Amino acid sequence: MIRLDNISKQNGTRLIFVEASAALQRGEKIGLVGPNGAGKSTLFRLVTGQETPDEGHVLIDKGVSIGLFGQDVGEMAGRSAAAEVMAGAGPVSEVGAELAELEAALADPDQADRLDEILERFGEVQARFEELGGYALEGKAREVLAGLGFSQEMMDGDVGRLSGGWKMRVALARILLMRPDVMLLDEPSNHLDLESLIWLEQFLAGYDGALMMTSHDREFMNRVINKVIEIDGGTLTSFSGDYEFYARQAALNEKHQQAQFERQQAMLAKEIAFIERFKARASHAAQVQSRVKKLDKIERVEPPKRRQTIEFEFKPAPRSGDDVANLRGVSKTYGSRTIYDGLDLLIRRKERCCVLGVNGAGKSTLLKLVTGTTTPDAGTVTLGGSVKLGYFAQHAMDLLDPGASIFETLDAAFPHAGQGVLRNLAGAFGFSGDEVEKRVRVLSGGEKARLVMALMLFDPPNFLVLDEPTNHLDLATKEMLIKALANFEGTMLFVSHDRHFLAELSNRVLELTPDGVHYYDGGYTAYVTRTGQEAPGLHG
């Protein structure tokens, strides 16, 4: 359906692709992987024709429809969310718009003399609208929006009043409703909660078109894709299978390449030593010449590309008392909505509690109550003795000073730490060398999240409260964070829609339900086994 044939592409001085080739066949569901900045978004722009390759060709079969979901959703206002989704449904929405115009023309007395002509066209357009499933369109649009977490009220409200994250979901719903032959999805899992993510997985599993997507959620990738294309160093390498298969295969390939490289280096060293030893002896001249020629002809094996691996280790946190947070008879309402009514909750030292609950159950509110960023209407919230709190809030990145550099931000927070210590800290969170001079305003969402983590974890708290800490983080940084938190000695309370993160780090689940909090010991994996569901509100 789509072929990239020996494409080369340069952005300024940066080579993105060098004679790279790949293909997307009917029915394939491809995950694009590679380090940040490798060219995943550029590849999407080449396929949609927004950019052209400097050399080579992008070949697309005739008549293939393509839908692209990107991170830039553009302006949305003046329509309901449901109408906005239907307006992007491809040919059917255009036919629907003409049908509406013709209906208006039929009722217009000024056009009475054209009645026969309008009626005839109306019949043709109506038949086409029916053929394209137009009358079922609104029902399907609402089904998709409901799957992505919208209430009826939100579907009918002005789309312009929605937050950026919800507008992203509207843009995603447009592509899903359109059901093109090929879907290109750039980070579709970014702004979704657990329920919506699982619904999207099931939707994509039942979608019979071809798919190419990027995602920083490995569980989501594993369940959706059947092929991986790795973008690295300007080349495209294809692997058949899911993300886990790719990760194993890539590690194996790297090991083989390293062994091959070392063998060749040993052989070259031996040959060069022989040449050096005997080049001055006339008796060995022929042998030396033959070996020099042989060396010139040998195709050099490259060492495997070394990924910059970020590693962060906590300094030991001071020990807290056994009771870390205690909520007694807590009530909280927002307007007419009661979030909590008489909630009792005790969090004990070394517990790693993940909070699950349907949209609006009060997950973020619970974290705000525990951290004191919101106060209960009734009841008490007390932190235990020697508790030192660290809170990663979803809006934490907005509180950074946009004019300060990364280094200045760290230096202002830790004025007594030496320059070398702060540079090491920045390096541990992926900011090496001159990158520490970058201003906050130019950082990506992922870079800002890493900076907030560095600020929070340098002088470690013994009680970490994390609200969606993995949003915007790429796979490598997420793995670094999981590894670091696995060795964290303190207590954790967190909300995340990343199932790998939940499974690796939780040892207790707090499920928020209308009839109170349900507790599950053993963490997220035990919760899934015991309930038969991956998220509250979903069964089987």
Q: CB–CB of 445/399 below 8 Å?
A: no
Q: Provide the 8-state DSSP code for 188.
A: T
- pLDDT tier, 30 (very low <50, low <70, confident <90, very high otherwise): very high
H runs (alpha helix) in 400-461: 406-413, 419-428, 445-457
Identify the three-state secondary structure at position 521.
strand
Q: Tell me the pLDDT tens digit for each residue of 282-315.
A: 777 888 888 888 888 888 888 777 555 556 666 7
Does the pLDDT of residue 39 top 80, yes or no?
yes
The pTM score is 0.78
- pLDDT tier, 331 (very low <50, low <70, confident <90, very high otherwise): very high
Strand order in the sheet with 516-521: 389-392, 463-467, 491-495, 352-356, 508-513, 516-521
What mean pLDDT do residues 165-193 have? 89
Does the pLDDT of residue 66 top 70, yes or no?
yes
What mean pLDDT do residues 510-533 have? 90
What mean pLDDT do residues 23-49 have? 87
Strand order in the sheet with 337-348: 337-348, 323-334, 378-383
Which pLDDT score is estimated for 496? 92
Q: CB–CB of 387/464 below 8 Å?
A: no
| Backbone angles phi and psi of 492, in degrees to 5 | -135, 145
- pLDDT tier, 229 (very low <50, low <70, confident <90, very high otherwise): very high
Please give the distance of CA 177 from its chain centroid, rounded to a whole number.
21
- pLDDT tier, 540 (very low <50, low <70, confident <90, very high otherwise): very low
